[in-house]
Amino acid sequence: MKATQKLYEMGQSLWLDNITRGLLSSGTLRQYIQEFSVTGLTSNPTIFDHAIKNSHDYDDAIRQKLKGGKSGEALFFELAIEDLRQAADLFRPIHDLTNGVDGWVSLEVSPLLAHDTSGTLAAAKALHARAGRPNLFIKIPGTQEGLPAIEEAIFAGVPINVTLLFSRAQYVAAAEAYLRGIERRIAAGLNPDVGSVASLFVSRWDVAVEKEVPDALRDQLGIAIAGQAHESYCRLLESPRWKRTLNAGARVQRLLWASTGTKNPKASDILYVRGLAAPFTVNTMPEATLKAFANHGEMVETLSVHAEEVLAKFAKAGIDTDALAAQLLDEGAASFVKSWKDLMECIASKSVLLKAA
């Protein structure tokens, strides 16, 4: 039995942090579902930028859309929705079998809207309606402006993947936004069964401090932060507030580990898979990490890091995790904007080449 299957049977969902038209047309994604126990996937602007830039898989579709007068952002979302519809259909049997717990795909609103509450909400509603798939999350960043959009989107019945979370405090704020939306649905007599995950980014912590801490602390901060958030997650699941919504027919917003590819070449390539094994969570991982864990992963006991002890060592080393969490969120939002602009430039340049051809 592959380690990926053992991890899934332990209770953690394995999602692929990638989508390309080639993955779909070649049958590779279907193979990952069958052989590696993959039960969902996530996407972002960087993934689509690389997919469009580094292949000819999208050329014919872009030509057709150019003939139809599409360009830029409108053209991109048509491409993305086409891919994600196909992926959602592949995962639909899993979604149905698990009663909506699993089998999700994710599409992100434009990162240019990260600080625009009303624009984010309008985009989330429109994209979900256009996609027309019940197992498609819309990704909204957990920025100060994103939180009210998350609450309103949940109240409107739009499933949400809260992205760009970096700390326990940011995770709790996202969970409370989700809860407020669900509680408002219950009060309004609406079905409270609206799916959501909260995505905590892990490896970027270790990259941020790699030059500021001794070797003995390398590659430990991300997992410690994740462990701290997981403790809050478990407490929330046991809280009277959660239980009241569950009793009314709601579902839990699951905690998702994102950014789980190892960045340090000297560290294990499955560091953030082995270290973040925990039931009723999701790990969305790059293809290389998924293959590495399937090939030579080993199961360990579920997430049991002594987070506060580890974080105390980082505090002693001069790391202010609260300040760094805010910095990582700002940098993450800025990075996604850059990726979005790169994506738009990629589509524009490819459009020019295809028109000339």
Structural domain total, the chain: 1
86: Cβ–Cβ under 8 A, 6 or more apart, which residues? 24
Task: pLDDT tens for the chain, 357 residues: list them.
Answer: 789 999 999 999 999 999 999 999 999 999 999 999 999 999 999 999 999 998 999 999 999 999 999 999 999 999 999 999 999 999 999 999 999 999 999 999 999 999 999 999 999 999 999 999 999 999 999 999 999 999 999 999 999 999 999 999 999 999 999 999 999 999 999 999 999 999 999 999 999 999 999 999 999 999 999 999 999 999 999 999 999 999 999 999 999 999 999 999 999 999 999 999 999 999 999 999 999 999 999 876 667 668 899 999 999 999 999 999 999 999 999 999 999 999 999 999 999 998 887
Q: Measured at the alpha carbon of residue 336, what is the angle toward residues 275 and 49, in degrees to the nearest 5?
A: 95
* Catalytic-labelled residue, pool 2, 53, 67, 139: 139
State the pairing for strand pair 196-201/38-41.
unpaired
Annotated active-site residue 139? The verdict is yes
The pTM (predicted TM-score) of the whole model is 0.96
**Domain residue limits at 225:** 3-356
CATH of the domain at 20: 3.20.20.70
